[in-house]
């Protein structure tokens, strides 16, 4: 946004005229202000609840909200500056998530640690393809090329004991932490749509905000009304009341913030359902991984949330699901 405004004032012919670009920048600023406004509302709400109904549940919500302030600030800063900074930021996020997942995995042999370097090297390539908008290469680089290349590297290293397990684990970790998350960055490379000034930034804010708030909604409804467990052996805190309450709330919020997108009312409702459902699936997948390893959280970097993977698990499924929904609606 700041970068776009500066380009407009200098008369860059690749952008709209100064008036049009100024309107665009003001609109984008409004989107991010909305994001912060809701966060302020949540902060006040949980503060009041803490005074009325003090307890561990409310304190946990307050701690989560404080962490959200930090994460929201980093996210907004990364998206308002030069576009390339956004891609670098998402690339670093994928790197941190992959490193975290690889460090806690018990299914990676000591001999495979050097092979993981190839997974790290795939990150800048994947995000470069997203930045350049090379869609056909973007969608096959990791699911096809890296799914072939990693087993090949494992084979030529000559350590065949339990090699099948490594062939399965490493590509899947790359898909979950890099390929999936890179769809968020690619939203910024989508061509502009006529009459839709928010562009990729609006779509990005829409999916990130709804995905993360869906986690908050499900958590809150579960704490308030939760009684009936969904998958107790994998995620004992997940309840039907929390899932349904969060799902409905997310869909309703999607309807009211559809101004961030080119969606019609019905498309916004459907997008909200995709994000809510995808977010839940991503959450329980990581919960199953943690249950297998014997961990409560994948890390302790974010107070009240755990590690990086604990925070982006829902996005790992919601982001690509939302992306292809948008792509097939408007770009296919």
Q: Could you tell me the residue range of the domain that residue 149 belongs to? A: 103-189
Residue 261 lies in a domain: yes
Residue 209 pLDDT: 87
Residue 137 pLDDT: 97
- Dihedral, CA atoms, 247, 248, 254, 256, nearest 10 degrees? -160
For residues 210 and 44, what is the distance between their CA atoms, to the nearest angstrom? 20
Burial bucket for residue 223 (CB in 10 Å: 0-12, 13-18, 19+): middle
Q: What is the pTM of this model?
A: 0.84
- Collect all residues with Cβ–Cβ distance below 8 Å to 239 and sequence separation of at least 6: 222, 225, 226, 227, 228, 229, 230
> Phi and psi of 225, rounded to 5°?
-120, -10
Which of the listed residues 49, 81, 113 is the one where a domain comes to its end? Answer: 81
C-alpha separations of 34 from 31, 73, 120, 205, 229 in Å:
5, 13, 35, 10, 34
Residue 72 lies in a domain: yes
Residue 108 lies in a domain: yes
139 and 259 share one domain: no
Sign of CA dihedral 139, 143, 144, 149: positive
Which of the listed residues 139, 165, 189 is the one where a domain comes to its end? Answer: 189
Residue 74 pLDDT: 74
One digit per residue, the tens of pLDDT, for the chain of length 332 reads 445 444 444 444 444 444 444 554 555 566 567 667 777 887 888 778 777 777 776 777 777 777 767 777 777 777 777 778 899 999 999 999 999 998 888 777 877 888 899 999 999 999 999 999 999 999 999 999 999 999 999 999 888 888 888 888 999 999 999 999 999 999 999 998 887 767 788 899 899 989 988 988 998 899 889 888 998 888 888 899 999 999 999 999 999 989 889 999 999 999 999 999 999 999 999 989 888 888 877 877 766 667 888 889 999 999 999 999 999 999 98
226 and 305 share one domain: yes
Burial bucket for residue 301 (CB in 10 Å: 0-12, 13-18, 19+): middle
Residue 90 lies in a domain: no
> Phi and psi of 229, rounded to 5°?
-70, 145
Residue 21 pLDDT: 46
266 and 298 share one domain: yes
259 and 276 share one domain: yes
C-alpha separations of 316 from 52, 54, 179, 194, 218 in Å:
36, 34, 9, 29, 17
Residue 35 pLDDT: 65
212 and 291 share one domain: yes
DSSP 9-34: HTT-TTS--HHHHHHHHHHHHHHHHH
Sign of CA dihedral 48, 54, 55, 56: positive
Q: Is 58 left (phi over 0), alpha (psi -120 to 50) or beta?
A: alpha
Contact criterion met (CB below 8 Å) for 297 and 308: no
Residue 98 lies in a domain: no
179 and 56 share one domain: no
Residue 305 pLDDT: 63
Tally of residues, the chain: 332
Residue 10 pLDDT: 47
Residue 28 pLDDT: 53
40 and 116 share one domain: no
For residues 217 and 209, what is the distance between their CA atoms, to the nearest angstrom? 12
> Phi and psi of 55, rounded to 5°?
165, 175
């Amino acid at each position: 946004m700041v970068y776009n405004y500066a380009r407009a004032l200098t008369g860059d012919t690749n952008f709209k005229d100064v008036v049009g670009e100024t309107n665009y920048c003001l609109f984008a600023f409004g989107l991010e202000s909305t994001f912060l406004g809701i966060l302020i509302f949540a902060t006040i709400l949980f503060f009041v609840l803490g005074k009325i109904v003090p307890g561990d549940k409310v304190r946990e919500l307050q701690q989560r909200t404080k962490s959200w302030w930090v994460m929201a600030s980093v996210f907004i800063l990364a998206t308002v500056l030069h576009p390339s900074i956004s891609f670098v930021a998402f690339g670093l996020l994928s790197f941190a998530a992959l490193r975290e997942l690889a460090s806690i995995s018990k299914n990676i042999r000591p001999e495979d640690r050097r092979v993981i370097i190839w997974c790290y090297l795939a990150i800048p390539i994947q995000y470069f393809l997203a930045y350049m908008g090379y869609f056909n290469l973007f969608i096959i680089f990791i699911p096809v090329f890296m799914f072939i290349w990693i087993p090949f590297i494992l084979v030529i290293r000559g350590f065949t004991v339990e090699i099948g397990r490594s062939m399965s684990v490493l590509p899947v970790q790359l898909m979950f932490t890099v390929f999936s998350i890179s769809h968020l960055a690619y939203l910024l490379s989508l061509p502009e749509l006529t009459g839709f000034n928010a562009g990729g930034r609006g779509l990005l804010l829409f999916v990130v905000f709804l995905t993360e708030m869906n986690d908050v909604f499900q958590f809150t409804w579960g704490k308030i009304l939760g009684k009936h467990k969904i998958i107790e052996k994998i995620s004992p805190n997940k309840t039907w009341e929390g899932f349904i309450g969060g799902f409905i709330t997310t869909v309703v919020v999607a309807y009211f913030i559809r101004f961030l997108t080119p969606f019609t009312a019905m498309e916004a409702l459907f997008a909200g359902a995709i994000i809510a459902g995808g977010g839940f699936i991503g959450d329980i997948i990581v919960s199953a991984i943690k249950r297998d390893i014997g961990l409560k959280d994948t890390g302790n970097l974010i107070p009240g949330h755990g590690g990086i993977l604990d925070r982006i698990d829902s996005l790992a499924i919601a982001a690509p699901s939302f992306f292809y929904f948008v792509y097939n609606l408007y770009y296919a």
